[in-house]
Every structure is written in C-alpha cells, then in structure tokens.
Chains A and B, each alone.
Chain A
Amino acid sequence: MADRRDFLRVAGGAALALGVSGCRGGESSTEPWQPAARTKPDRSATAVLAAGAYGDSLPDLLSRGLGEFPQLRIRDRRVLLKPNLVEVDAAGVVNTHPLVVHAAIEAFRRAGASEVIVGEGPGHRRDTEFLLLETELGPVLRDTRTRFVDLNLDDVRRVPLLGSFGPLGSLYLPNTLLGADLLVSMPKLKTHHWAGVTLSMKNMFGVVPGSVYGWPKNALHMAGIGNSILDINATLSRLDRFAIVDGIVGMDGNGPIQGEPRPAGVIVMGEDHVAVDATCCRLMRIVPERVDYLFRASAFLGNLSETRIDQRAESIRGRETDFRVIEDFRSLKVDAAPAG
C-alpha cells in the first residue's frame, strides 16, 4: 500500500481526477458551506434495530423503527427511497438487500405515504434493467407495483451547490429527487477503499445523473470523493431526509464491491445522516471522528459526537462487529493509533 501512497503523492491532480484520491485532498481552510446548509441540530437520534436475517418480519421491524421517530412527517407525502444498487450481487453483500427495500416500501405505505418511489442511478453499470433483474430488486418492485426511476436518465436541472469543498459549484440533479417530500437514503453497511466507509452520505453519489456525468461519474472523482460527498449532502440538506442502513449483512475489507460479507445483524435508522453514519461506524468498530468527510460534515451538517446522539431501540454496546478495512484506512479502527 505504500506504493499507492507514492503514486498519489507524485500524481497529484491527475490521481484526483481518476478517483485515485482518498477523501483528504483539496479542501479549503475557510468555511466551505452556505449558511442554508448549516442544518446541524443541537441533538440527534439514531435507532439500532436487531435483525438476524432477511425475512418476512422486516416490514414490521421497519415500521417499529419508524415509530422511534414520531416527528418524521410521512403521511400524504411522496417518499423517494434511494437504495445502493451497484453490481450483480449473488451473495447479497454489495447492494441494499431487495427485502430491505421491500420492507421500507411497506413501512412507508403503512405510515401513510401518498407515494413511495424507488430511485437509483448506478455508477458503473449503465444497463439498469440488467441490474434490476440480476439483483431481484426488479421483481420486488414489480410485485409491489412500485415505480422505479432510473436517476441516471431522469430529467435534470442545474442546482447551485451549498458546499464549496470541491470546485464543482453546481450539479445537475434529477427532478424526481428534487420533487420528493422525503428522501430516504438506504445504503449497505460497507467499508470503502477510497473513502473509508460508504453509508448514508456516500450513498448520495447515486443521485448524480450518469446521462450528464457518465459511467463512472468522473466529475465527482475529479473534485475529490470526500469533497463531493460533502457538497452533495450540503445541497440535499434542504430536503427532508431520513436514512435506513442495511447492516444485516454488511461488507468489510476491500469494499464497496470486492470486500467480504460481514454479518452485523442490524438496521440503523435516523434523520441526521452524519449521526446515522457515526452510529454505523461505531457498530463497525471504526472511529467516526477519524473518517475525514464525516469529521468535516460534523462542523455543519450533523452530530458526530456520541454525547449528542440519543440512542433508540437497541444499544450500540454489545452489537459491534469488527469490520476489517484495507491497510490505508487502518488508522480508522478503534484499536489503531490515530494517523499522525
């Protein structure tokens, strides 16, 4: 791995452009977010739900989980579920499991949503029909008569970014996303070989349309992955948002697609995506303050500190699972010394 660091040091901007950068390049020392993006609440809440397997009880479980957030407005609202649909996934460890998506559809319908839409814009595979059929998400959507929007192909409009961590300034975003009353990020609990972890915030890369930026969405890599995560989430902070993380079986090691299955037996939910991702990190025995983009997000978007996160349903303690990371991110682990 020293080889990779050597390459990054010498290649500089070229490496950034290829997405070879981690999440640490190019940020400004001044406050790189608009006042409207300062949405960090005084306190946040996350719920950890124990779930040993993908089964028929998941809709009830997610309904109970939504009940932990009585202030969340669902009734008569259009809910956009944004799962993580990346690759063909025979082992069920790359993508948000279709049964979790099914459970969320049911739970939001029971809670009175006027419409539940599932939308995703895969970053590598352009043939979304292929992915839908190969991952069993397609049959779930067909059987539940749920509208699917390929966010890569949706109509778009240019939106000024509320963050300036990277140089993008604005992004084209899908109209279905911008018209949703409630956006629900539904990632898989995974480590990530460029960003450390990929959770509810990183999952938002999938809303950026491939019809403009291509496959992969190279502009986000050129701006620095961490910077782009922050700029996108700062901009989406104007929307009502929620997160449901599929951690029943996660992925560790060389994620997000080449890692190993890691059963963690949890679903994590919450409104504050920084807090949700922080709780996920703690469940993975990763120190969230050491994940660069999460640390930067905690300045304005949400709560990272455990003392400011009310833990609902299950406790984190006793539910942690040791997620392995690639060597470059060894310092993120609770049993590692912080990076010098």
Chain B
Amino acid sequence: MRDSELLTELAHRLANRQNADGGWPAAASGESATEPTAWALRALVAARNAASPGDSPIRSHEGAVGWLVERQSPEGSWPISDRVPERGASTSLAALALAATGDAGLLDRSVTAAEWLLEHPGKQVSWRTRLWLRWNPDRNPLEMDLAVRGWPWLEGMWGWIEPTSTALMLFRRLRDRLDGSSVTAAIADGEAMLLDRTCPGGGWNHGLGRSHDEDLWPYPDTTAFALLALGPGRPEPAVREGLAALEEMLRAPVSRLASALGILVARAFATDPGVLPARLRGQWAEEYPQPTTRAIAVSMLAAAEEPIAGPRAVDSGTAKPAHG
C-alpha cells in the first residue's frame, strides 16, 4: 500500500536539497553529481506517478532531466560530476532514471547509455592467469570465478555487486532496444557474476564471499540490489538464500536505506514486507543521522511502490534469446 504521507514529506526533503544548477548533491549539501541527481529524478517521477488529485504538488523533475541531458557524452556515458569527469556506475543509474520518465526522446538517450555500458564491462583477468587457475583451481585465494566480469564503479576497474546490479537492471529494462546477442551475453555475465560472489551463508556484500580461507558476511543494501537485479522466479538457491539472509538482516532496526530496499525486494518477490513500512515511517521521524540523497530517493520509491527500474520493468529472470 502506498504511503502518500511519507512520499510527500520525502519529496519536500528532496526538493530542499536541489542545487541551483538543477542537480542534487549526494549528502545534505554540496556540489551536484550524476548519481544523486539520477536517484532524485527517479524518485520524483515515482512521486508524480503515485500522486492523486488534491495531493500537494511535487517538485517538477524537469531540472533533474536538464542537468542529466546536458552532461551526457555523445557516446552515452555520464561523468561522476562536473568536477570528476571519470565515468562509471553512475551511467546505469542515470539511464534507468531517464528511461523511467516515459519520454521517448529520453528513452533513446538511455539506450545510448546502455550501449556504452555494454562496451565497458569490468576489467578481465588475463588469459594467462585464467589458464593457470584452470589447472590450479584450489589456488585462488579469493575463491571467485575470474572469468566473469560484471560492471565496475569506475571505468577500467573490476566489477562489483552494486554496479553490476544496476547495469543488469538497465539491460533488462532496455533489452528490446539493444543488440540481441550483446545484451544476452551481458545479462548472462552479470547474472553469473552475482551468483558467483554470494556469501557462504547467503546474501551479498560488496563482492567477496570469502577471503583468506574465511567466510565473509552479507550487507542488507548490496543483498537487496543483487536480488532486485536477479529478479523473482529463478531456480538458483542463491536467490532463495539471499532472500532469507536479507530477512534475517532486517529483523533488527537498520538504516533507512536498508528498510526501504527491503520493502522494494518484498514487493518485487511478492512477499510480505512485514514491519518494514511502519519501521521506515518511524525512522524518517528521526533527524539523526543526516540522510543521503540516495536514502531519501529509495525511501520514496518504497513509499510509492515503484521498482528502481521503473513501473514497466517486470523482471522475468533470464534474458531472452539473441535474435538471429
């Protein structure tokens, strides 16, 4: 059930953070950056979609659209910010946000961004190392499949859970518009990466399940992102174990972001969010600590009951076969 009261309150909080240039900072104040602006856009569009006649007016998302459009490079990517021209994970979020507006021209921009991401997966371990590990599989200290790449935080680096998850969400959202063989291979690689990097007890952390012969443990936010990227209806035990791990992590009060992501996962997997909506409302009554823009935006999506990838994005699991 939508929480219109929380949605309206958070939309005002979000509006109060908008910079004069149309963008948003990651924290309470600061320079605008691509990722928080993308989150803000996505949340404002969700608030618009959820609004009923008579509701308080929601801040227009045109400023956020303008900020993002102005900064997209011709080949489709976004810089981290005006001050940081390097490119990476913020490109998938910006593209998801533009695609969710429902505007055909902005959707074209998202497709260009997705094509850039298809060309820029994570760094790959050299063939020499992979060959050596094939013959010495017990000598990989991080116990991961180094053949899968995923997507990196920063162009040219290794793939990690959260950027791989958001890239997967984007590819699924736009797969009808992308080259069939490329997007099928990319989705397969992203899924393989997520399924390979689970924590032994279930769930995901930043991207290492084990290190130095010891198990590592999952985090709520990365577990939620991976589950949302993989989607419901999958046969792999990792998904079932991830859901159980997330439920366990969310038993105790956690951050606002974790509560909100937990609600989004419950909606996506058609499970009962339990106490999470009420808890989230209570958490927003607290003033400390200062929330991130991302936490506000994800909480708005939870309150609006809209998935990160947009209302039309109902993930069905694996990619469809390549054309031709």
Segment of B50-58, B101-109, B135-143, B187-195 in the binding face:
B135-143
Kindly state the separation between the CA atoms of A138 and B256 in the bound complex, as whole angstroms: 14
Task: Give the number of residues in B that approach A within 8 Å (Cβ atoms).
Answer: 58
Q: Is the CB of A214 within 8 A of B163?
A: yes
A-chain residues with CB within 8 Å of residue B222 when the two chains form the complex: 126
Q: Is the CB of A193 within 8 A of B138?
A: no
B-chain residues with CB within 8 Å of residue A213 when the two chains form the complex: 153-154
Shortest CB-to-CB span from A89 to chain B, Å, is 12
Q: Is the CB of B289 within 8 A of A212?
A: no
Name the CB-closest residue of A to B86: A212
B-chain residues with CB within 8 Å of residue A126 when the two chains form the complex: 162, 206, 221-222
A-chain residues with CB within 8 Å of residue B126 when the two chains form the complex: 11-14
Segment of B28-36, B63-71, B266-274, B313-321 in the binding face:
B28-36
Name the CB-closest residue of B to A157: B83
18 interchain pairs, CB-CB under 8 A: A7-B133, A12-B129, A124-B206, A126-B221, A128-B289, A129-B289, A129-B292, A129-B295, A153-B25, A157-B83, A211-B80, A212-B80, A214-B163, A215-B206, A216-B160, A216-B206, A218-B152, A219-B154
A-chain residues with CB within 8 Å of residue B212 when the two chains form the complex: 193, 254, 258, 326
Shortest CB-to-CB span from B302 to chain A, Å, is 15
Counting chain B CB atoms within 10 Å of each CB, which of A134, A142, A155 scores highest? A155
Is residue A172 contacting chain B, with contact meaning CB distance below 8 A?
Answer: yes
Is residue B84 contacting chain A, with contact meaning CB distance below 8 A?
Answer: yes
A-chain residues with CB within 8 Å of residue B30 when the two chains form the complex: 153-155
Is residue A304 contacting chain B, with contact meaning CB distance below 8 A?
Answer: no
Shortest CB-to-CB span from B156 to chain A, Å, is 9
Is residue A18 contacting chain B, with contact meaning CB distance below 8 A?
Answer: yes
CB contacts under 8 Å to B, within A1-54, are 3-4, 6-7, 10-15, 17-18, 20
Contact residues of B with A, CB < 8 Å?
25-27, 30-31, 33, 35, 80, 83-84, 86, 88-89, 123, 125-126, 128-129, 132-133, 136, 138-142, 146, 152-154, 157-158, 160, 162-163, 205-207, 211-212, 214, 216, 219-222, 253-258, 288-292, 295
Is residue A334 contacting chain B, with contact meaning CB distance below 8 A?
Answer: no
Name the CB-closest residue of A to B140: A7
Kindly state the separation between the CA atoms of A20 and B142 in the bound complex, as whole angstroms: 8
Kindly state the separation between the CA atoms of A142 and B286 in the bound complex, as whole angstroms: 11
Q: Is the CB of B157 within 8 A of A129?
A: no
B-chain residues with CB within 8 Å of residue A157 when the two chains form the complex: 83
Contact residues of A with B, CB < 8 Å?
3-4, 6-7, 10-15, 17-18, 20, 124-130, 132-134, 138, 141-142, 148, 150, 153-158, 172, 193, 210-216, 218-219, 222, 254, 258, 326
Say which residue of A11, A127, A156 sits within 8 Å of B125 (CB atoms).
Answer: A11
Q: Is the CB of B139 within 8 A of A215?
A: no
Q: Is the CB of A7 within 8 A of B214?
A: no
Q: Is the CB of A17 within 8 A of B123?
A: yes
Q: Is the CB of B257 within 8 A of A127?
A: yes
Q: Is the CB of B27 within 8 A of A214?
A: no
Kindly state the separation between the CA atoms of A252 and B25 in the bound complex, as whole angstroms: 39
B-chain residues with CB within 8 Å of residue A12 when the two chains form the complex: 126, 129
Name the CB-closest residue of A to B30: A155
Kindly state the separation between the CA atoms of A219 and B162 in the bound complex, as whole angstroms: 17
B-chain residues with CB within 8 Å of residue A154 when the two chains form the complex: 27, 30
B-chain residues with CB within 8 Å of residue A133 when the two chains form the complex: 253-255, 289
A-chain residues with CB within 8 Å of residue B163 when the two chains form the complex: 214
Kindly state the separation between the CA atoms of A222 and B220 in the bound complex, as whole angstroms: 27
Q: Is the CB of B129 within 8 A of A14?
A: yes
Kindly state the separation between the CA atoms of A32 and B12 in the bound complex, as whole angstroms: 51
Kindly state the separation between the CA atoms of A127 and B262 in the bound complex, as whole angstroms: 14
Residues A215 and B128 in contact in the complex (CB < 8 Å), given A4-B141, A124-B205, A156-B84 = no
Kindly state the separation between the CA atoms of A153 and B25 in the bound complex, as whole angstroms: 9
Q: Is the CB of B291 within 8 A of A215?
A: no
Shortest CB-to-CB span from A57 to chain B, Å, is 27
Q: Is the CB of B288 within 8 A of A142?
A: yes
Q: Is the CB of B157 within 8 A of A127?
A: no
Q: Is the CB of A258 within 8 A of B153?
A: no
Name the CB-closest residue of B to A138: B289
Name the CB-closest residue of A to B27: A153
A-chain residues with CB within 8 Å of residue B257 when the two chains form the complex: 127, 129-130
Kindly state the separation between the CA atoms of A258 and B255 in the bound complex, as whole angstroms: 24
Shortest CB-to-CB span from B35 to chain A, Å, is 7
Q: Is the CB of B129 within 8 A of A215?
A: no
